[in-house]
Amino acid sequence: MIKKYFLIVLVLFAFQSLKAQVDVVGGMGISMVYNPSLNDYLDMRADEEIQAFATTVEFYGEVDYSITEKYQIGIEYAYSLFDFTSYSRYNYSLSYAHQKPSLLAYYVISGEGYKFKFGGGAGLRVVSVVENIFIDENFEALGFGLLVRAQGHTKLGDNIYANIGSTLRADFPGTPTNDNNDFHNDANINSISISLNLGISYFF
């Protein structure tokens, strides 16, 4: 009987210890994206001046695990959307969805009611492009990307925190292709971007 209670207490203690080491983070943000290859292609198609930086909407979620008091590792999934439409010569549009799963590593500074994380990561990059020149044509690209991030968390109540962060990304998915050919003019979706993100965190 004593062994049974001891085992139950040990399992509960291990479970509580595990819970205390996990952060679940989610939210959305705005990114400023610099893609010179795609910009040159859109400039040609639209016959109008394209701004150097495009704006995309980004949604993200991540789970981080504390390996020590000062260090965390984690996994993130980010999803961003880009859309461009022009009527200067003819009805033309191009949009893409960019999936960005990454492995993360952080250095952590924490105290009563706050936590700051500084780190980076790397992972696959998957882009799905839809271009309309009278008809829709679909393309896809697969590559890799790197990121550097600073993230702050402020306690709202119990284990719930508000988070704000900024992420610098270098993504290299390359030139999209489909079953018929490569993307026109071999334009690629490689980019450098910086984002501001806001969200909610739950610390177990």
Structural domains of the chain sorted by starting position, each given as residue range(s) with its CATH number in brackets: 22-203 (2.40.160.20)
Tens digit of pLDDT for each residue in 81-102?
999 988 776 788 999 999 999 9
SS3 179: coil
Instruction: Tell me the two tokens of residue 119.
Output: 């780190």
> What is the model's pLDDT at position 3?
41
The CA angle 33-176-27, to the nearest 5 degrees, is 40
Q: Find the Cα–Cα–Cα–Cα dihedral 50, 52, 56, 62, rounded to 10°.
A: 160
pLDDT tens track for 67-84? 999 999 999 999 999 999
> In angstroms, rounded to a whole number, what is the distance separating the alpha carbons of residues 7 and 13?
10
Q: Is 85 helix (H, G, I), strand (E, B) or coil?
A: strand
**Given this model, what pLDDT does residue 186 score?**
81
> Token digits for 177?
């292709």
pLDDT grade, residue 6 (50/70/90)?
A: very low
CA–CA dist 86, 40 (Å, integer): 14
Asked whether the predicted pLDDT for residue 124 surpasses 80, the reply is yes
Asked if the model's pLDDT at residue 14 lies above 50, the reply is no
State pLDDT tens for residues 126-147: 999 999 888 889 999 999 999 9
Q: pLDDT confidence of 183, banded at 50, 70, 90? A: confident
Residues in the chain: 204
Q: Which stretches of 23-129 are DSSP H helices?
A: 36-46
Choice among 8-22, 47-61, 166-180, 183-197 with the minimum mean pLDDT: 8-22
**Residue 3: what are its φ and ψ, rounded to 5°?**
-60, -40
